[in-house]
Amino acid sequence: MVMIRAIVRPEKAHEVMKALLDAGFPGVTKMDVYGRGKQRGLKIGEITYDELPKELLLAVVPADAKDIVISTIAKAARTSEKGAFGDGKIFVTQVQESYTISSGQKDA
């Protein structure tokens, strides 16, 4: 299993979650987060906003589904055909173990 973390624009989060559901990956956790990437925030006049609102989406999927999930997220989160600064970032990590709280059983 792998955990995929995607940081996306808030206005794209619903679209990404719907695309994942349609692709057969309904399990997603969503959190409001704030931060900045390479663009170093946003400057409007004399004011610099360096903590921009984003959404963090987390999904744990089988390792063999990783590429499908990544491409689904990237396609849904992109603001244009070529994309733009601030569209987000995707991180992938290995999941060693997981457990279902209600049953206490280790997941396969």
Q: Does the pLDDT at position 91 exceed 80?
A: yes
* pLDDT, tens digit, 9 for 90 and up, residues 11-28: 999 999 999 999 999 999
Read off the pLDDT band of 84 (50, 70, 90).
Answer: confident
Q: What is the pLDDT of residues 31-43, one digit of tens each?
A: 999 988 777 777 7
- List, in order, residues 6 or more apart from 14 with CB less than 8 Å away: none
pTM of this prediction?
0.87
Dump strand ranges (E) for the chain.
2-8, 29-35, 42-44, 47-49, 52-61, 88-94
